[in-house]
């Protein structure tokens, strides 16, 4: 009998049928793809497979951007996930990806937000939040800066700056039309 994938005795062909959908789902989540890997006719039979249920649940929680459920699933299936050396390599990357997605969703409605609040929502230390934020700011995915003294993320308020710009543009237009009408009256 062979030892495959997750270190359990198995028939390798059967194990490949289980491992490949796992890897497909993992790659899908790491790429933050909107495509459901179980929508294809080839993968549908595996969707409800008991050996793949952890990954399908993980994918569903990932799509819902439910960080608490993702962590719960990872903790509940820690042994089976950590026994697979390939998946073990990407668990941290997967957690960083979901945390980044949730972080972007969390900060969207704010002009400023406390880093401690973000850390509480993501269930990670504030220093890790700062690391994620620095990466997002450097990648231009977040427009703002970190106020380290007050531990606050200050975001650029695009709606206010756009409305100010529009108001100034309208004011310049009115001033210009008044100027033109005065010049016509003088001629």
Element (H, E) at 10: strand 8-10
DSSP collapsed to 3 states, 115-169? HHHHHHHHCCCHHHHHHHHHHHHHCCCCCEEEECCCCEEEECCHHHHHHHHHHHH
pLDDT digits (tens, 9 = 90+) for 50-76: 667 777 788 888 888 899 998 998 888
Distance CA 113, CA 145 (A): 11
Q: Does 94 or 11 have the greater pLDDT score?
A: 94
pTM listed for this prediction? 0.67
């Amino acid at each position: 009998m062979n030892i495959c994938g997750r270190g359990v005795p198995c028939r390798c062909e059967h194990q490949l049928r289980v491992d490949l959908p796992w890897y497909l789902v993992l790659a899908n989540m790491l790429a933050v793809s909107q495509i459901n890997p179980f929508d294809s006719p080839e993968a549908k039979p595996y969707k409800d497979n008991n050996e793949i249920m952890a990954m399908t649940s993980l994918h569903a929680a990932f799509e819902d951007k439910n960080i608490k459920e993702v962590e719960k699933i990872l903790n509940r299936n820690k042994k089976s996930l950590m026994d697979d050396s390939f998946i073990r390599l990407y668990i941290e990357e997967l957690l960083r990806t979901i945390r980044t997605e949730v972080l972007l969703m969390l900060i969207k409605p704010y002009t400023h937000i406390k880093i401690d609040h973000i850390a509480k929502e993501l269930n990670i230390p504030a220093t890790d939040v700062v690391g994620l934020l620095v990466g997002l700011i450097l990648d231009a995915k977040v427009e703002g800066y970190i106020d380290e003294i007050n531990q606050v993320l200050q975001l650029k308020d695009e709606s206010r700056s756009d409305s100010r710009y529009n108001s100034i543009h309208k004011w310049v237009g009115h001033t210009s039309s008044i100027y033109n009408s005065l010049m016509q009256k003088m001629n």
